[in-house]
Structure 1
Amino acid sequence: MKKILFLLTLCCGVGFSAIAQKSPPTAVVAAFNKKFKDVKGVEWGKEKNGEWEAEFKNNGLEMSANFSADGKWLETETEIKFAELPAAVQAALKGKKVGEAAKIVRADGTTVYEAEVHQDLIFDASGKLQPQSKE
């Protein structure tokens, strides 16, 4: 009986800690609401690097936004069509089958483009392949 109670307590503890990780800190939610007013249906997830990612639709576009744990906006990714990629990026991808494409605007003001080709490839607007970050 003690073993059953112990296992039940252990399972509940693991379950509650998993639930706690799905809820971003108040600072993150406040920063999101300030940047993306009137957005509904937000799904939150915690990245391996500790960032919080919000996935949502805004004006019919699939988007995600990442924030640090203290609420600092880091980047916003917006799904786009292949034809919306800069011509140089399209040229760099010539002959490759692209599954999805996205425009990523970062907090430092830079814009890069992501293309899903067996793996995600990141390009700047001139078509130069960018180094991959460790997530």
Structure 2
Amino acid sequence: MAVVRPLSRSQSVALAAAVVAALCLAVSFAQQIASSQVPAPVKAGVQTRFPGAKVTEWKLKGKDYEAEFNLNKIDIAAKFDATGAWLETETTIALREVPLAIRDKFASQFAGYKVVETQSVQRGDGSELIYEIHFENSKEVVKAQFRPDGKGLERSAKAKATKGK
């Protein structure tokens, strides 16, 4: 007969952290979908907010839709709910456009990482503009969000796939 022992406090904390990390990672994944699977109100919402946008890729993230397109030579990803209401826009920007406080924080906390992409993020709830940096090293790919003053908000990481033989 197996003996079941309660977890120690540190084991409980580690298990809870692992579960939260797994849930965050699962939510961050998006499913690419065909344009024919996107509700008409969502397509109309994109054209209302971004006239002339030609969507190159659609994704389904949970119950929300993400349209990726290039407008005026700028890469944009915009999220809408199923009714076509705008939720968020991620706009690709140059690293030099990221506030200095964020660049300094990044340099001190993530030395040895290479910046892959930088974005400004505007949310439909009227909250302040935030900045998102995607970066990597030899082991992982990380996405982190910052307030303009450099305060970190959210961070998620995925291990890099190992190359098979």
Flag whether TM exceeds 0.5 (same fold): yes
Tell me which amino acid in the other structure corresponds to 1:77. Answer: E
**Cα separation, partners in 2 of 1:114 and 1:31, compared to 1, 3 Å:** same
> Which of 49, 54, 70 matches 1:57?
70
Q: How many residues were matched structurally?
A: 115
Unmatched runs of 5 consecutive residues or more in structure 1? 1-17
CA contact (8 A) 2:53 2:71 kept: yes
How far did residue 97 of structure 1 move?
2.3
Counting strand residues as a fraction of each chain, which structure ranks higher?
A: 2
User: TM-score of the superposition, structure 2-length normalised?
Assistant: 0.64
How far did residue 131 of structure 1 move?
2.9
CA contact (8 A) 1:22 1:46 kept: no
Report matched runs for 1:38-117 at 5 Å. 38-47=52-61, 49-94=62-107, 95=111, 96-109=113-126, 110-117=128-135
Per-residue CA distance 1:51-89 (angstroms, 9 max, x = gap): 100000011001110001111100000111111101111
Instruction: State how far apart, in whole Å, the 2-side matches of 1:55 and 1:41 are.
Output: 6
What's the counterpart of residue 6 of structure 2? none
Instruction: State how far apart, in whole Å, the 2-side matches of 1:35 and 1:108 are.
Output: 15
Identical-pair percentage: 35
Instruction: State how far apart, in whole Å, the 2-side matches of 1:107 and 1:74 are.
Output: 5
**Cα separation, partners in 2 of 1:55 and 1:21, compared to 1, 3 Å:** closer
Q: CA RMSD in A?
A: 2.1
Instruction: State how far apart, in whole Å, the 2-side matches of 1:35 and 1:88 are.
Output: 31
